[in-house]
Structure 1
């Protein structure tokens, strides 16, 4: 928790002449004192079944040197006098969005840099000229108010409603950071359409991953990055839609987080951007009949009862978990070895849940190949500690060179 008795930072010069909220939609008085901000101007947060609908664009000024504004719940309308050049990112999805908008060099922070930086670079390795130099980034975990002053960011790509739940900040800190340093800009609770804190709940809207990225791209005046990457995603999903087998021929799938004493399970087709690489594939959830909101913990007996044809093991593309050990655990367990996925060697590594647009392209391709190898090409497998595997160009579900060009500004 930061020391809120320190009054020196509260007297720092305001930076509202650089970036300001034009208005606040909600917040129980947290953002009181701002004018403007019509709640009806924000994009509808209703997420479609396959997240393929185009999104409504908020009005911004594209003329160089002129101020512009971007509207998204829960902030309302946020005004900018120029494109942010120092960017605070928290979870990896926001870093991926900034990178996709061509602002990798502007990022000054991320949660757990070594873990998430390495994980993101496992995907970026397949894109020429795209990478995240994470070694000098500030770790946002437990960052108190004073740390925000030291970073001196031009925008904080984090939901202020979520920021109020952090132990290192309180509501007064959130408002002070917004007033004295730079605005907040994010929408965390679209992750699973979960419930925001009470003071933010009235009027909170949910967005898809790509709707949020569209807004972030507008913040960086990089709408063309969004449009071009969105086209690549649409082509990828069209390929999957055209080639995937009918429902009665599809495998049953368990989306899991296996640990030593239990297996965490998640709904494959849940609402929210955490399922942005699984829900659009239309696969059959082996735990669809189990009633839980975010996730549940089950034992091997419950896994055997569900008997999934495919097990997707989350976070195995990171340095902290091993897909080889996960497979071995199933094979060595007297119950686990009876599960169809274990018997048929269909336990696959998955990456990160908090995914931005670039990672979403890779993870959608990866998951599609893991589920429908006969129709979309076989997944080559993942080796612990290595990058996203090489896939022959003829078997790729999206154009690496095109995506790299877009990210690098060659649109």
Structure 2
């Protein structure tokens, strides 16, 4: 690791002269000088306000390192729905100018939160912001993107990242929804570790702490009601977005990415444990057929790729197709009607509350109520109050 890694590097002001970016990581950092995965926890501070008294502050997050801000960003963009949801949770929805992937940003949950919404016209106008030209056009103060993702998925190079960080606005972000990509050989973060850093970007500590308290109490209450471990169902989380699912991409629940957080919090048994089947990743695109599913024969099957499908449509169209398959119909989960939509790949703190509630009812209906009923397991008004500032 170079002598300057992790240090704050101040650069010339951008056009608005409000933000300066520091610690823009060179190729050596993206090559993995931090190792495969740093220990969990906040050994690395989320950020600290400057002692100079000028309103400046810094945020530290790998792979970029430490980024210095002269004032709170007003215009911002996120690559995925998880980071977009963090911004919304922090009361910053009005500043979001677009998104890197609108197809995987689910905003319908905001309909249940009075006073919480996003500007869909902006998202529809800029639904896949991934090119340097678009970054210049939108002229954001901060980009909640992992630059490693831009380099490995969209053919950027480090010079492109540095150019946008210096000429437009800095990057703060870490791809955290899964932990199986070989190129991601720097520190990962849990959902709330990442959320804390985004809260520091926007100087919204009070909202962050309110969400953290609500989340911790909610999860603790659910966990206190769970049945013993040996009475919990085995669960297969998989992906097939077609209306006629026949080839299933596997997800390992022991991969500690944020997209599986609700299942880990609810203590499920991973049907793939001990099988040697690898998690879906950039480099592993292997799929399972019905015969492979029957060998596993989980109690519950969670099928991702259908979040734009209503729960009723999923039950009426997708599940019957599986039941009519000569092998699929033999699966225990299919016979018992325990095939469900598997939740979002990218989830932020608001998403996570809704998805954890849904998961609890899918897995433990005798405890929390059936997933089709209207039982609410957390206080929607409280969430809305935090977002709108009634903390």
Shared fold (TM-score greater than 0.5)?
Answer: yes
- Kept after mapping to 2: 8 A contact 1:16/1:179: no
Number of the residue aligned with 2:91 = 102
Number of the residue aligned with 2:109 = 123
Number of the residue aligned with 1:6 = none
1:175 aligned onto 2:162: yes
CA distance in 1, matches of 2:225, 2:77: 40
- Kept after mapping to 1: 8 A contact 2:343/2:355: yes
Q: Does the residue aligned with 2:109 lie in a helix, a strand or coil?
A: helix
Residue 164 and residue 320 in structure 1: after superposition, are their counterparts in 2 closer, same or farther (change >3 A)? farther
- Kept after mapping to 1: 8 A contact 2:130/2:154: no
Number of the residue aligned with 1:276 = 261
1:252 Cα offset (Å): 1.1
Q: Does the residue aligned with 1:254 lie in a helix, a strand or coil?
A: strand
Number of the residue aligned with 2:225 = 243
Residue 235 and residue 141 in structure 1: after superposition, are their counterparts in 2 closer, same or farther (change >3 A)? same
- Kept after mapping to 2: 8 A contact 1:190/1:208: no
1:56 Cα offset (Å): 5.5
Number of the residue aligned with 1:163 = 150
CA distance in 1, matches of 2:355, 2:49: 31
CA distance in 2, matches of 1:371, 1:55: 36
1:372 aligned onto 2:372: no
Q: Does the residue aligned with 2:107 lie in a helix, a strand or coil?
A: helix
- Kept after mapping to 2: 8 A contact 1:112/1:139: no
CA distance in 2, matches of 1:54, 1:68: 19
CA distance in 2, matches of 1:187, 1:261: 33
- Kept after mapping to 2: 8 A contact 1:111/1:140: yes
Number of the residue aligned with 1:46 = 39
1:342 Cα offset (Å): 1.0
CA distance in 2, matches of 1:264, 1:29: 31
Number of the residue aligned with 1:111 = 100
Q: What is the 5 A alignment of 1:8-407?
A: 14-15=14-15, 17-24=17-24, 27-28=27-28, 45-47=38-40, 57-60=46-49, 66-113=55-102, 115-117=103-105, 120-137=106-123, 138-139=125-126, 141=128, 143-167=130-154, 169-188=156-175, 191-192=178-179, 194-196=181-183, 201=185, 204-258=186-240, 259=242, 260-295=245-280, 296-319=286-309, 323=314, 324-380=316-372, 391-392=374-375, 396-407=376-387
Q: Does the residue aligned with 1:21 lie in a helix, a strand or coil?
A: coil
CA distance in 2, matches of 1:374, 1:91: 34
Q: Does the residue aligned with 2:214 lie in a helix, a strand or coil?
A: helix
- Kept after mapping to 2: 8 A contact 1:311/1:347: yes
CA distance in 1, matches of 2:360, 2:69: 39
For these two proteins, the number of residue pairs brought into alignment is 365
Residue 63 and residue 301 in structure 1: after superposition, are their counterparts in 2 closer, same or farther (change >3 A)? farther
Residue 319 and residue 54 in structure 1: after superposition, are their counterparts in 2 closer, same or farther (change >3 A)? farther
Alignment gaps of 5+ in structure 2: 1-11, 281-285
CA distance in 2, matches of 1:241, 1:126: 24
Q: TM-score, normalised by structure 2?
A: 0.85
Superposition RMSD in Å? 2.9
1:209 Cα offset (Å): 0.9
- Kept after mapping to 2: 8 A contact 1:55/1:211: no
1:143 Cα offset (Å): 3.2
Alignment gaps of 5+ in structure 1: 1-11, 31-38, 382-390
- Kept after mapping to 1: 8 A contact 2:177/2:346: no
Which of 13-22 and 164-173 deviates more? 13-22
1:29 Cα offset (Å): 8.1
- Kept after mapping to 2: 8 A contact 1:60/1:218: no
